[in-house]
Amino acid sequence: MILLGACAGWSLITAAAHDGRPEGMLLAVLAVAAGYAAGRVSGALLPVAAPCAGAVAGLALAVTLPEFSPAPWYAAPLGHAGATAALLALATGAACCAAWATAVPALRLALRALACAVVAAGAVLGSTAGCVASAAVLLCSLAAGSARSRGAWLVGTAMAAGLVAAAIWAVAGDALPGGLDGALESRFSAHRIGLWRDALWLADRNSGLGIGPGRFGDLTPGAPRTLLSDGKPHSAPLQQAAEQGLVGVFLLLAVFCWVLHALWRAPRPTPVALTAGAALTALAVLATVSNALSFTTVTSGAALLAGWATARPWAGETATPSP
């Protein structure tokens, strides 16, 4: 709660300094707080049914909501493919958490079949990123069954997310060697990379308080105006750096690290905690290269999953966290 309060307070400070619009950040903080509280309560009462229902709801939202229908992942104009992929990854994580939480073999098999259905849905929807992210979460969940220590696993997921963020930051700053830089740039549209470079340009010149939340679209200096733009750089760390300065980036990183620490200390079985960690890491990677965190459905879904994975069931399941 201290971290979420700091996120809300810093957005108000930077908004006051530059006449920004903090409503988006405040809504995200509210969604995370409400989702986490609901996840802790429902996870304590219904450790299997709650994440199972969440997986079905996430899949249904990804399939039925027209604003989440996948646009071409690397094409312009930039669409909502990041939100679709994030919902699919979270739905897979919820289904796998429910599978590990039950002791009934038939139900566990059915829940893993649901996770496989989410992966297939990503392919049917044309969401390549969603299919890949969901498959990665499913494979990590299966591997988590043989994990002995959750600490090393969670450190590895944090390092993976950090490497992706560092690579995108390096692409924006033209800091990679020629061959590697060209390989990464070939995977994204020129428009998206241009937005990343604009965000880094603004961050370099406003590293203290940023330019104010919600103002990136007003001040972007170099994005092609012939392409549609939603006023976001499609990278959560770069958006925080541009709009709220280095403190904003630190707060975003601190929230992610706190979630991983909570999973490390969670009383749930180790496979449940590690599966949730894999799904939230997949979300972090997607948020680094898209606008996934701009959707309240995604932020509240991530908080729900974290709540389910860290809840202390009132009956029927006990576990001692692994060191």
pLDDT given for residue 68 in this prediction: 55
Q: What is the pLDDT of residues 249-289, one digit of tens each?
A: 999 999 999 999 999 999 999 999 999 999 999 999 999 99
Mean predicted confidence (pLDDT) in 30-39:
95
Instruction: Tell the burial category of 316 from Cβ atoms under 10 Å away from its Cβ (0-12, 13-18, 19+).
Output: exposed
pLDDT given for residue 321 in this prediction: 46
Higher pLDDT: 71 or 138? It is: 138
The DSSP code for 67 is: G
Phi, psi angle pair for 47, to nearest 5°: -65, -20
Question: Tokens 């992929």 correspond to what residue?
Answer: 85
CA dist., res. 214 & res. 231, Å (int):
8
Would you say residue 316 has pLDDT above 60? no
pLDDT, the chain, mean: 86
% of residues, the chain, pLDDT over 90? 60
Helical H runs in the chain? 2-18, 23-45, 49-64, 81-101, 105-125, 128-144, 150-172, 178-185, 190-205, 216-219, 236-265, 270-288, 296-310
Would you say residue 223 has pLDDT above 50? no
Model pTM score: 0.89
Whether the Cβ atoms of residue 108 and residue 99 lie closer than 8 Å to each other: yes
The pLDDT confidence band at residue 230, using thresholds 50, 70 and 90, is low
Whether the Cβ atoms of residue 138 and residue 96 lie closer than 8 Å to each other: yes
CA dist., res. 26 & res. 31, Å (int):
9
Mean predicted confidence (pLDDT) in 74-101:
82
Would you say residue 61 has pLDDT above 60? yes
Q: How far is CA 208 from CA 114, 168, 294, in A?
A: 46, 21, 23
pLDDT given for residue 178 in this prediction: 64
Q: Fill in the amino acid letter for 259.
A: V
Q: What is the pLDDT of residues 166-175, one digit of tens each?
A: 989 888 887 7
pLDDT given for residue 251 in this prediction: 95
Whether the Cβ atoms of residue 280 and residue 160 lie closer than 8 Å to each other: no
Would you say residue 246 has pLDDT above 50? yes
The DSSP code for 104 is: -
Phi, psi angle pair for 156, to nearest 5°: -60, -40
- Tokens for 149, please give them: 């220590």
Number of residues that make up the chain: 323
Mean predicted confidence (pLDDT) in 181-187:
69
